[in-house]
Amino acid sequence: MTSIRDTLTAWRQDNLLRKVLRNTSYLFVGNTLSSVAQSILAARLLGVLGFGILGTVIAFASNVNRLLSFRMGELVIKYMGQFLAQEKKEHAAAVLKAAALTETLTSVVAYLLLVLLSPWAARYIAKDVTTAPLFTFYALALLTNFVAETSTAVLQVGDHFRSQAIINFLQSFLTVALIAYAFLVHGNIWLVLTAYLLGKSLNGLALAAVALRRAGQMLGPGWWRASFRMLPPRREFWGFALSTNLSATVSMLIRDNEVVWVSYFLSPLEAGYYKLALAVINLMVMPITPFINTTFPELTRAVAQKAWLRLRDLLKKMTVISGAWTGAVALALVVAGNWLITTFYGKEYGPAMPAALILLIGYGVANVLYWNRTLLLSLGLPNYPLKAIALTGAAKLILGFVLVPRFGYLAEAALLSGFFVISIGLIVARGLLEIRNQQSPIRNPQ
């Protein structure tokens, strides 16, 4: 039998695996400061209620943007990456141009919609009409991130993850520095929200500037003059965009809107506990999340080259890595989670621990099998994840209206975990079946 040492040696010699891990390490370093220091300082400064209102404002703005977003990043990685692999630069340029213009338009529309919805959100979600200006103020982040998804995808397609990591680090440093200042001067929620807005704005504008420069290097000068006639067939291209938009909308309603739902069903106080539980779980998710961005381009290349054995090998290795990390952190949270919360965030956040343990189940599955949706996107099957998420998500939403007002935010945590387990299980099974079907007629030696 192959020893563990032999296995590790073989993995170290795997250039594709080393590339993914290297790129992921760049993004991980850039995100670490943001995920830990910001939440601790903001939580201690604002208290449970203020922390819940802050999370509600930021989540609501982000989700209005997702409502109109066509997830241009996935579209760019899928088609621009595919065309570059085939050395069709004009086609790749047309994809980038179409994505950038579409995302800019939707960002402006999302900003206007958020401004209109702010009074409603303040009354029915934050449960305080005086918070309406907070929603309107943070809406500015949608304008400064007008091509953030497209820009991020350009950097990923071109393997420029270090640039993205530097921008993430600068954003994190600015945000944490301003929140630390607010903490020292006992500032209010306005100062904390300003910190998040300035950090978000720096991220969006810097990504756009760097991506514009990188696009010129990859596609040549004057790439923006590429004709839209170079785009893939209209039905396929915009069908993919619509599918990913619907998928993003469904995910927004079901998975990414948790703090907003808890605030709507219960109150911003319970939303504060729930937001803290999500922050604790983020300690487990944080190192794995960058793998989604770094693995997707490699999956797309492998599928475009029909390198099925290489694709299966990459999935296997990444699952082992994500599983090992997830298991270790899950054990640590079970043993020391309560101490972690009360020591770093404060004793008033103690009620968040049961929710964190429930969320640990669903997020653990999502963490280990993080590649589930991007695999099907790479295989050209964007509709199946949408169907799986929509069906299981519809059940979650319906049960949410019934159970959460009665049993509280622990019921919301249980519903989210159940959603992850069932939907991801279905998506993974479909992806592996498609690889098997593609591989069986002709065994690719790669």
Rg (CA), the chain: 22
Mean pLDDT, rounded, for 194-204: 95
| Cβ–Cβ < 8 Å for 369, 300 | no
Query: Comparing 33-37, 205-209, 343-347, 350-354, which segment has the lowest mean pLDDT?
Result: 33-37
| Residue 206 domain boundaries | 4-439
Is residue 266 over pLDDT 80?
A: yes
Name the residue among 232, 241, 248 with its Cα closest to residue 385: 248
On whether residue 75 sits in a domain, the answer given is: yes
The per-residue pLDDT for 239 is: 83
Please give the mean pLDDT across all residues of the chain: 87
Q: 281: exposed, middle or buried (C-beta count within 10 Å: 0-12, 13-18, 19+)?
A: buried
On whether residue 84 sits in a domain, the answer given is: yes
The per-residue pLDDT for 357 is: 95
Is residue 345 over pLDDT 70?
A: yes
pLDDT tens digits for range 6-31:
555 655 656 655 665 565 555 555 55
| Cβ–Cβ < 8 Å for 300, 80 | no
On whether residue 96 sits in a domain, the answer given is: yes
Is residue 5 over pLDDT 70?
A: no
On whether residue 444 sits in a domain, the answer given is: no
On whether residue 445 sits in a domain, the answer given is: no
On whether residue 307 sits in a domain, the answer given is: yes
- Total domain count, the chain: 1
> In the chain, what percentage of residues exceed pLDDT 70?
89
Q: CA dist 351 to 126, 198, 338, Å?
A: 20, 31, 9
d(C-alpha 435, C-alpha 439), whole Å: 6
Token code pair at residue 410:
């622990």
On whether residue 426 sits in a domain, the answer given is: yes
Collect contacts of 357-361 with beta carbons under 8 A, ≥24 apart.
357/333, 358/410, 358/413, 358/414, 358/417, 359/277, 359/278, 359/281, 359/413, 359/416, 359/417, 360/281, 360/284, 360/330, 360/333, 360/334, 360/417, 361/417, 361/420, 361/421
